[in-house]
Chains A and B, each alone.
Chain A
């Protein structure tokens, strides 16, 4: 499939914050996009889901439990979460900000959002599980899987890894008349000269979809796998309502982007020296260090501020595993 890179990046300006756009570097756009498209849409054969969900090891259960506490309080297996709350039928108006001028810093600054991680902190501070070292609590309790330390030395608190963007694909299973869709749908955009797909957006979950005439669809911008699925179903319903026999086949999460902040500065020049096989740091081109982890196969963007973007995951566990791998390495570069 021929893609115009600039059209694509414009398409991704929307509620969905794509790290690709916000990375700001065109050289990353092109290859990342093409790889993604080649792998997912052109060939139907799905990727090998290499890693098993690492729920056994204590460290990853740490991540899971902290994630779950963020979600709904009771901890438990990731898959067994049974909280069925219906979405309110609340159609608040969308915040139509142009994500055009987004820089990488702004994507990463999101990890400073007080809403998510800090509520979690204060809720759990009294029920402090000493294992939850990710956002450690109080002098004297500070233990983390990464830095066992004397009780007197508190740990640098750090934001938990939060999901920023999920990209998924689904096959609606029938050819679509894009012109017709663009005419009949309020939330659709279609410029065939620029890009061969309809760009559709919904308010809740705030996402953007690319709908192709083949019936294949890409959904971006969701903050969790479940939200991505819900959003994709809504788009499918819209297409159905417009009269097409749309189905919901082969829904698959293609990419997950997460970010976090380790809260200390990082000597990128040092990191690229010691981890040369995995790192690429060209300050003339991009301020962050690009770390291509082999196992799991995740790409991390590491910045001097200590903020880290993780992408390329097909499953949440991969993100957490990647973070667990990189954190001790980063700690090594904490002070000179």
Chain B
């Protein structure tokens, strides 16, 4: 019976993944339950196999054995979207609340896939999995803090982290020359295209921190940052704090400069509003405003104008800020920093009641003339005739 076959498949998957007995038992229990449910009892054998994989996946998650959906999809040789759909359905039916995977947890298992130890590749390119994992995990943690991880697929992130970790563990010219493509080739893994973008994003973050290293004199660029990676990761907390402070000071300086400007030109919109964003420390904003207040003291007449221009400039600024607050903070999700350009929305009439008169001419414009209809019908006939001739 198919149920038995399905349970065997569950067992087989568990063995392949080498999970513990508890997970295997739980998976079988879930499979039994789900299989009998009306949503799954009549589905194709293919789907039943996917269901088996999903049961294993959810059990792993519940019992703290991190694996990705991608791994399961690979084992089942199924499309991850299909697996996803079955998974969602199954957790709904069985009313399971499984925790999400933590990328850093999965990293160790993932890095095992890379055949990059000295058994497989020449010494200059080899790294042992432990060092690799440790460095990659640190990088992923940094990426998570700087908004690169949330909302993204985990596997390209892990791939990017491992690649950069590998490069930085021995930043020789040779290794640095290796593109992601080549790296995946020697490590015998399938390349994931999004990993390239992740690499760029991670390097950007590393550069922002690298700039703060006191003993580095040359400018830090994506090209030379890999050499500094070890130091950056080791001191990342301190560097993060420094970078945020530097950024804050820069904003404050901008704000003060523009405060003075706005009082010189009374009607010019000031950039005070610029500061009104995600500053990690609100005291800088308060400081700026108290500066503005103090500067406003001389002459009451100025006050109103200043207030008005401030409000106006604030709304101006709020236009900018609501359009891209991401540009003014140090770290933001990349989708905010590189916001897609919107096409201009056609201005629709706002005051529609729904009961307006509908003009005949408008309706007529949607209807074919008799001539048109005849021509169209004729064309259709000819088209379908030629289609049937072809086949």
Could you list which residues of chain A lie within 8 angstroms of chain B, going by C-beta atoms? Answer: 25-27, 30, 70-72, 81, 83-89, 91, 95, 97, 105-106, 109-110, 112-118, 121-122, 125-126, 128, 135, 137-139, 141, 152-154, 156-159, 183-187, 202, 204-206, 223-230, 233-234, 237-238, 241-242, 261, 263-269, 272-273, 276-277, 280-285, 287-288, 303-306, 335
Contacts and interface: CB of A to CB of B under 8 A. Distances in A.
B323 A85 contact: no
B14 interface: no
Contacts of B171: none
17 contacts: A27-B88, A91-B365, A106-B342, A109-B339, A112-B323, A117-B322, A118-B315, A122-B312, A125-B315, A126-B311, A152-B285, A152-B286, A156-B321, A186-B366, A230-B352, A237-B358, A335-B280
B154 A284 contact: yes
Contacts of B383: none
A229 B353 CA distance: 8
Contact of A154 (B147, B285, B332, B376): B285
B322 A128 contact: no
Given A86-B357, A88-B349, 8 more contacts: A27-B81, A125-B311, A186-B368, A234-B362, A261-B322, A281-B100, A287-B151, A303-B335
B345 A87 contact: no
A79 to B, nearest CB: 12
A249 B70 CA distance: 49
Contact of A284 (B69, B150, B277, B312): B69
A159 B343 CA distance: 18
B22 interface: no
A273 B367 CA distance: 56
Nearest to B150: A304
B148 to A, nearest CB: 10
Interface of B: 68-70, 80-81, 84-85, 87-88, 97, 99-100, 102, 147, 150-155, 272, 276-278, 280, 282, 285-286, 289-290, 307-308, 310-312, 314-316, 318-319, 321-323, 325-326, 332-333, 335-336, 339-340, 342-359, 361-368, 372-373, 376-377
Contacts, number: 232
A213 B355 CA distance: 26
B385 to A, nearest CB: 17
B373 A184 contact: yes
The 9 closest A-B pairs by CB, nearest first: A229-B354, A226-B354, A287-B151, A27-B85, A157-B318, A285-B84, A138-B311, A304-B151, A83-B351
B368 A156 contact: no
B349 A303 contact: no
Given A109-B340, A225-B354, A89 B362 contact: yes
Given A86-B356, A285-B84, A265 B333 contact: yes
Given A115-B347, A156-B276, A282-B100, A268 B150 contact: yes
B69 A285 contact: yes
Contacts of B321: 156-157, 263
B315 A122 contact: yes
Given A113-B342, A139-B272, A304-B151, A70 B350 contact: yes
A310 B340 CA distance: 21
B351 A139 contact: no
Given A109-B340, A335-B280, A139 B289 contact: yes
B151 A87 contact: no
A95 B346 contact: yes
A70 B276 CA distance: 24
A13 to B, nearest CB: 15
Given A71-B350, A113-B342, A126-B311, A306 B336 contact: yes
Given A27-B84, A269-B100, A156 B315 contact: no
Nearest to A290: B88
